[in-house]
Amino acid sequence: MHCHSTVSRFGTLGRFPSFRLLRFRLRFRPLLRVPAHSLRKVNPIPSHPMILISRTFEVVTPESAEEGEAAESGFLSEGEAVTFRELVSLMRDHPIPSSSPCSGSQWDWLSSHSETDYRDCSNRTESLHLDRSNHPRTLKYWRKAMIAAGIIRIK
């Protein structure tokens, strides 16, 4: 064959390869060497997921108790990332559940025992809440941490 021929040595006209050529290339191409980490799916949750919590406080004075309100309340931290162990430790410091019996749902929160300031007779209570911005797959750890902290007893 001449190099100026319109028919190539693979049996096609012009630039488009024939079916035989494509089959040959697919069959004998070198193996694709790709690092293993690039083949894995990107997981938005790490192997040890961080649980997002919010910590609140409430101060009740004798004057505010007469009105049925708290004198002061607010967030200590909002969207704080903690590990499972840290969460269990915090739950042991906040042993009073918001409902009885406690189901461990995402709507349950835990409160600490009130601390009395004897200078002005005010009571301060801190609460622990599961933050709303948690990934749905991390919600199960809230209940598991309550079980590990001894707040929920499994029969």
pLDDT in tens, 119-148: 999 999 999 999 989 988 888 999 999 999
Domain boundaries, the chain: 51-149
End-to-end, the C-alpha distance of the chain in Å comes to 86
Six-digit token pair at 73? Answer: 């309340």
What is the model's pLDDT at position 102?
84
pLDDT in tens, 8-44: 555 555 566 666 666 666 665 554 444 555 444 444 5
pLDDT in tens, 67-101: 989 999 999 999 999 999 999 999 999 999 998 88
DSSP state of 155: -
Length of the chain measured in residues? 155
- Please give the Cα distance from 13 to 52 (Å, whole number): 64
